[in-house]
Structure 1
């Protein structure tokens, strides 16, 4: 009887990591959002040179930190979170959410705020009709990433949302296909190998394209369509998908101890720092910046999430101020550039490169409250609409609560 009752507490202990993992991910989102704001203020004060290199500054270490591009972290995080259910279904069986339910929830998540922001910002910059109607159309259809001239119009950072939306459609096609391909395989190792091979293929395609574009075709780095399009940037999503496959394959096995996790975390952070520090627009490091950065971000995520015992790095990520920033990170991502440009045009930001530090503080003080208000009046209510459908994508039936006696 003792042996029969001993395992009883185990499910409770195994249920805790997913909740902690969510808070860690919120911390990553918060860090990435704050870094994105700092990066774009940096761009405003230290203009890129004609060749597309990073802005020069006297302090090389500071330049490396500010020039670190976190968009690959956003891609990897998004792909990991959205792929993990498909990975588990492919490797260990089970069902997945129908495409209609998946796309409905994604639309509810991003469209209300995005469409409103595009219309507001475009209208303020095009006071007379018809205005730049092509810019508006491309932003509303997420096709501005394919326009060399308008890719950064209206909401500059949202070129990445074009790739995000495209990834949604790729995933609802490839995810169920992977599940069906793995179902006849009897060995679990074979199913893992099939999923891993698919991720490796998706990661390799952008590497091949970047090599051909840079070395064979001589396309400059300022050709935004060539180097910002899915053919060049899907490596970040593929890396996140590989992380989902790895964690689904491992399950609760081989969790890292602090002695292993912290060195891997330090290695990933040092690699990202060096990658930014030594980037050279004429050298190979810059050419392959984003594929390498994607791999390093995934290493950092793995060493943070697949652990047996939490470390000071996890405690930092789950600090309340950082997780709250992660909660409003999407609104901060959407609004920070319009807020920054509004302040700049109103003459409220200090002039000259010496004004960078106070300007960044001013932008943070304006953009973060704006994002918080945006989250509670737009994002949160829109998110409640996601409850209108159940996990199968069918309309959810709501019944009145019984009267209290």
Structure 2
């Protein structure tokens, strides 16, 4: 071999799951999260409208804890992980990242068409006479309703989280390139990993500090939605996902978990989430720090699911044929399930009382999934085709190139 010959390529490891299988696992997580969100809001509806005030609609404490599990932190962790991964790889191992204009364009195509249409439709039905609550409409269309104590849950209640999602996009396109440039000055990879991890830990610790000050020093009640639902309190979920991206980018194919270790980690994370949900009703430490703790547990669960040598029955469950299609329509299901539920409730189509809760849950599931499927194919999918108008660098594509000269 000559001195200038290229070194042989390293052998491919058989342990790393294909990217499409990882995507299947993530679709499974999305599907479970969407179903859990529907169950949580039906559970919440029956809790709120019960004659005794806040009496749970089910008597079984185990089932009650499963139904009342909040999964919004999973959406935050998962979104941040997926969107940060390319920045983490570029910061640790070099390479380029997508320009901010291309990133924001694709995010807008993903989020805005369905969201804007749903806001206009639901707002119009609830404001049949003009001028209506124009402030509510303006705040929802500008994603600022999370800062309004009175209107944070108006129109589309669960979409307060989209306000934080959109804010995270701007934070990421600002901090991501800065992190990449800062890491290029560091020669040792271990130093680059340490800088990126420290930045994520800081972003995770800042909301913890705010929650501590707000609750224990300022005495702000938990019903102050702006204080505890705003980015200053909830950004920890995104930070946990960013840290997960840094960890997986740093490890690469190294130190993948054996099936036994992966299942043990998965079981521990799920048990922690279950115990957290059971203890979240009574005000105390777990109630105050519920979302930072949940974010860390969701990140741990994702790590135990994705960084593995061989797939386990948990991975096969996530990629089941009945679940991954729900992941495909999860955004539409997230957007439409509350209006569907309230429409059914106001029309008297949901059984009343705790005994009617299981039937109400089934009715809302079936109706919301049907609406979400139609929404995906009629709105989401056609809108996603607009993403092809620009290339990876954010430049308009040339669909009609001039014929080559002969």
If the TM-score is normalised by the length of the shorter chain, which range does it land in?
A: over 0.9
Match of 1:92 in 2: 93
Task: Determine the C-alpha separation between the residues in 2 that align with 1:212 and 1:181.
Answer: 32
Task: Determine the C-alpha separation between the residues in 2 that align with 1:323 and 1:349.
Answer: 28
Say if 1:245 and 1:234 are closer, same or farther in 2 by CA, change over 3 A.
same
Match of 1:35 in 2: 36
Write out aligned runs for 1:5-404 (5 A).
Answer: 10-11=11-12, 16-47=17-48, 55=56, 57-399=58-400
Task: Determine the C-alpha separation between the residues in 2 that align with 1:11 and 1:100.
Answer: 35
Task: Determine the C-alpha separation between the residues in 2 that align with 1:65 and 1:48.
Answer: 20
Aligned partner of residue 241 in structure 2, secondary structure: helix
Which structure 2 segments of 5+ residues have no match? Answer: none
Deviation at 1:145, TM superposition (A): 0.4
Task: Determine the C-alpha separation between the residues in 1 that align with 2:242 and 2:54.
Answer: 30
Say if 1:149 and 1:54 are closer, same or farther in 2 by CA, change over 3 A.
farther
Superimposed CA distance per residue, residues 333-390 of structure 1 (whole angstroms, 9 cap, x where no aligned partner): 0000000111111111111122110001000110001100100010001001001111
Task: Determine the C-alpha separation between the residues in 2 that align with 1:300 and 1:225.
Answer: 29
Aligned partner of residue 320 in structure 1, secondary structure: coil
Task: Determine the C-alpha separation between the residues in 2 that align with 1:293 and 1:249.
Answer: 23
Task: Determine the C-alpha separation between the residues in 2 that align with 1:66 and 1:249.
Answer: 36
Task: Determine the C-alpha separation between the residues in 2 that align with 1:235 and 1:53.
Answer: 29
Say if 1:292 and 1:143 are closer, same or farther in 2 by CA, change over 3 A.
same
Aligned partner of residue 46 in structure 1, secondary structure: helix
Task: Determine the C-alpha separation between the residues in 1 that align with 2:212 and 2:58.
Answer: 29
Task: Determine the C-alpha separation between the residues in 1 that align with 2:26 and 2:402.
Answer: 35
Superimposed CA distance per residue, residues 149-200 of structure 1 (whole angstroms, 9 cap, x where no aligned partner): 0000000000000000000000000000100110010000000000000000
RMSD, matched Cα: 2.1
Which structure 1 segments of 5+ residues have no match? Answer: none
Aligned partner of residue 48 in structure 2, secondary structure: coil
Say if 1:14 and 1:380 are closer, same or farther in 2 by CA, change over 3 A.
farther
- With 334-343 and 281-290 compared, the bigger mean Cα shift is at 281-290
Task: Determine the C-alpha separation between the residues in 2 that align with 1:81 and 1:92.
Answer: 17
Task: Determine the C-alpha separation between the residues in 2 that align with 1:281 and 1:151.
Answer: 24
Superimposed CA distance per residue, residues 68-107 of structure 1 (whole angstroms, 9 cap, x where no aligned partner): 1000000000000000000000000000000000000000
Aligned partner of residue 97 in structure 1, secondary structure: coil
Task: Determine the C-alpha separation between the residues in 1 that align with 2:219 and 2:67.
Answer: 28
| Paired residues of 2:17 and 2:308 also in contact (CA < 8 A) | no
TM-score normalised by length of structure 1: 0.94
Task: Determine the C-alpha separation between the residues in 2 that align with 1:83 and 1:228.
Answer: 22
Deviation at 1:282, TM superposition (A): 2.1
Task: Determine the C-alpha separation between the residues in 2 that align with 1:54 and 1:388.
Answer: 52
Aligned partner of residue 294 in structure 1, secondary structure: helix
Task: Determine the C-alpha separation between the residues in 2 that align with 1:135 and 1:55.
Answer: 31
Deviation at 1:9, TM superposition (A): 10
TM-score normalised by length of structure 2: 0.94
Deviation at 1:16, TM superposition (A): 4.9
